[in-house]
Amino acid sequence: MNADPLEIQKFSELAHRWWDPTSEFRPLHEINPLRLEWINARAPLAGKTVIDIGCGGGILTESMARKGATVTGIDLSEKALRVADLHSLESGVQVRYELIAAEDMAAREAGRYDVVTCMEMLEHVPDPGAIVRAAATLVKPGGHVFFSTLNRNPKAYLYAVIGAEYLLRMLPKGTHDYDKFITPAELSQYARGAGLDVQGLKGLGYNPLSKIYSLNDDTSVNYLVATRRPL
């Protein structure tokens, strides 16, 4: 199975705090409006069928459903999915959550989705290329696949590990393993290898003084990639 049990355990242990915007998941809450609008501008979500791979507690998942999409969220953390499910019951936003590996879902529901998202997840799996291939299998011809992850270079190490985990203590120590970070060139290669066209890259910046996130063209730390399956 293409999953690291320690990674799944790490997210499961924190899962009860997923929807607390002051918790370890604060960065996901703060970047969510930015990534949601970026996705929605490229693939207007209303009426679309969407799958969110590695959905966790459902921050992006639920927000895409609020835009009028029919959304499925999958993850391998049972606890995160339970939290996601409870939250959607409470908020009244309908989402289908399922504990299933991306590769298994790809075998079962190939070509069924207009939009596939996989955010802040590839840097936690043993074989990210296999997840990219599963995403490419799940999307319809002409559909969109969006990824986000952490770049691998000294600046990314300084900001995403030393800065976020040790200096600013925004994330628990050990959240991210530098060796698993993925460069935009590597991610683009996985995407092209899976038959996806890479359409655009966007950087996700954080200003530690203003504590404000923004989308920009600096992909050196956290970045998003938009891809599309040809018709």
> Which CB atom, from 138 or from 209, has the smaller least distance to ligand SAH?
138
User: The dihedral of CA 135, 23, 69, 8: what is its sign?
Assistant: positive
Contact at 8 Å (CB) between 102 and 74?
yes
Question: How far is it, in rounded angstroms, from Cα 173 to Cα 162?
Answer: 9
Which strand (E) or helix (H) includes residue 64?
Answer: helix 59-66
Q: Report, in Å, the least distance between residue 28 CB and ligand SAH.
A: 4
- Smallest gap from Cβ 228 to ligand SAH, in A, equals 20
CA dihedral 44, 82, 12, 68 (to 10 degrees): 10
Smallest distance, ligand SAH to C-beta of residue 211, A: 19
Beta carbon nearer to ligand SAH, 80 or 182: 80
Which residues lie near ligand SAH (CB under 6 A)?
2-3, 7-8, 11, 28, 54-56, 59-60, 75-77, 80, 101, 119-121, 124-125
- The least distance separating ligand SAH from the CB of residue 230, rounded to whole angstroms, comes to 26
Residue 92 CA from chain centroid, whole number: 23
Closer residue to ligand SAH in complex, CB, 59/156: 59
For ligand SAH, the closer CB: 2 or 49: 2
Residue 27's DSSP bridge partners are none
